[in-house]
Amino acid sequence: MGSVLVEVCVDSVASAVAAERGGAARIELCSGLIEGGITPSAGLIETVRAAVAIPLHVMIRPRGGDFFYDSAELEAMRRDIELVRGMGTNGVVFGILDVDARVDVARTRELVALARPLEVTFHRAFDMAADLPRALEDVCESGVSRLLTSGGEQTSLQGQVVIADLAKRARGRIVVMAGSGIRPENARGIVEQTGVREIHVGLRSTAASPMVQRNPRIAMGTIAGREYQRFQVLEESVRSLCEAVAEAS
């Protein structure tokens, strides 16, 4: 069946370098991972592209929250795709639903055409769709390269039966990639149960802030103290996961 491709989601240069050194085959670059990922800045894209040689896919998502976008937000996505396409990247990642939680085929197809020749991944907005088998057909019709899914559940482990069904229904028309909650200890089982040959992982670990002087009275975001909380992908975590899936049948 061939090897399992491991894609690692990162939000920094350090995490991207660690992912590559640990054996990742591809990187998904985002900012705002606490919101599920939003479009990273041009500066971050450029510095990550200069630091790693493996394929780089960039999140195109103008904000957190739901996946129904108005005309201004869609225009922002168009401009970001045009920008990213000229920065040495290999793919973009996005997902668009309508108000009834169905895949917005027309808008998705438009952005796919704009992104070419880059690869396009339809992300886990899919898991918020009202009818996953119907959503799969709509994603296939939209012309994307692959679908990232947890089978409509919080984690791929919980959704592995559905992921397996979706992979069979896809019949090779698109790549079905499992993602969410995949760790070294469960990765092999998920791959073998679902039959997927690509997985998407976060593997973030808490990293201590180097700041000595701190002001605990102020919260720049919604949770006090988060200003001094960092997360980073560790090389050894990626290596452990890659070794775990290397033996998957």
Q: Is residue 215 part of a domain?
A: no
Q: Where are the alpha helices (DSSP H) in the chain?
A: 13-22, 42-51, 71-85, 105-115, 132-142, 160-170, 187-194, 235-246
Q: How many Å apart are CA 225 and CA 217, to the nearest integer?
A: 8
- Gyration radius (Cα) of the chain, Å: 18
Confidence (pLDDT) at 227: 76
Cis-peptide, bond into residue 117, ω within 30° of zero: yes
Confidence (pLDDT) at 219: 73
Enter the DSSP assignment of 208.
E
Q: Is residue 51 part of a domain?
A: yes
> In one letter, which amino acid is 183?
R
pTM summary value: 0.93
Task: Answer for the pair 58, 92: CB distance below 8 angstroms, yes or no.
Answer: yes
Q: Is residue 109 part of a domain?
A: yes
Q: Is residue 128 part of a domain?
A: yes
Confidence (pLDDT) at 61: 98
Q: Collapse the DSSP code of 93 into the 3-class scheme (helix H, G, I; strand E, B; otherwise coil) and give the result.
A: strand
Q: Tell me, what CATH number does 83's domain have?
A: 3.20.20.380
Confidence (pLDDT) at 223: 61
Q: Collapse the DSSP code of 169 into the 3-class scheme (helix H, G, I; strand E, B; otherwise coil) and give the result.
A: helix
Task: Return the closest-CA partner of residue 30 out of 171, 19, 22, 245.
Answer: 19
Q: At what angle do helices 105-115 and 71-85 cross, to 10 degrees?
A: 20
Q: Is residue 62 part of a domain?
A: yes
How many other CB atoms are found less than 10 A from the CB of residue 33?
Answer: 17
Number of domains in the chain: 1
In the numeric block, the tokens 């994603």 are attached to 139
Q: Is residue 105 part of a domain?
A: yes
Q: Is residue 66 part of a domain?
A: yes
Confidence (pLDDT) at 86: 93
In the numeric block, the tokens 């679902």 are attached to 194
Containing structural domain, residue 121: 5-210+221-246
Q: Is residue 33 part of a domain?
A: yes
Q: Going residue by residue through the chain (249 aa), what tens digit of pLDDT does each one get?
A: 469 999 999 999 999 999 999 999 999 999 988 888 999 999 999 999 999 999 999 999 999 999 999 999 999 999 999 999 999 999 999 999 999 999 999 999 999 999 999 999 999 999 999 999 999 999 999 999 999 999 999 999 999 999 999 999 999 999 999 999 999 999 999 999 999 999 999 999 988 888 888 887 777 765 666 777 788 999 999 999 999 999 875
